[in-house]
Amino acid sequence: MTILSAPARAPAAGASPPPTPRMPDWHARVEAPTFRRLIEAKRRTIGWLLGLSLGFFFLTLLLAGYARPFMSAKAFGALNIGYVLIIGIYLVTWAAALLYMLAAHRSFDPLAAAARDTAMREGTR
């Protein structure tokens, strides 16, 4: 006999069925002020970081396509402006990641803890 062919066990006569676990009210939790503050803080931070990073990337891309004399000008040593900006893209990417980690540690983590505590206090309505 396999699990699939095993007969279902009915509750004993007169016994009530086991209670069904109550699901949390996710809509209420998402609309909670503490959760909304967390989402808004993340949206603000990610928006600025993404906007500045992509802005720098597309500026470099446009300069590479339309300002070749400027990009080929010597910056220092054997490096020209184009190479410096490409290195800058890597630095901006790392800076954005580090700034996000800093914001997550200082701002998002306490807001997430407050949202979690509020949800736990309200229970699983």
Note the pLDDT of residue 5. Answer: 64
Note the pLDDT of residue 6. Answer: 61
**22 in any annotated domain:** no
Helix (H, G, I), strand (E, B) or coil at 6: coil
What pLDDT tens digit does each residue of the chain (125 aa) get?
Answer: 556 666 666 666 767 777 776 777 778 788 889 999 999 999 999 999 999 999 999 999 999 999 999 999 999 999 999 999 999 999 999 999 999 999 999 999 999 999 999 888 876 44
Instruction: Give residue 118's domain range.
Output: 32-122
Note the pLDDT of residue 42. Answer: 96
**3 in any annotated domain:** no
Helix (H, G, I), strand (E, B) or coil at 75: strand
Note the pLDDT of residue 45. Answer: 96
Note the pLDDT of residue 113. Answer: 94
**90 in any annotated domain:** yes
* CA distances (Å), origin 33, targets 11, 37, 41, 103, 113: 43, 6, 12, 20, 13
**69 in any annotated domain:** yes
**2 in any annotated domain:** no
**27 in any annotated domain:** no
**5 in any annotated domain:** no
Query: How many domains does the chain contain in total?
Result: 1
Note the pLDDT of residue 20. Answer: 74
**9 in any annotated domain:** no
Note the pLDDT of residue 24. Answer: 72
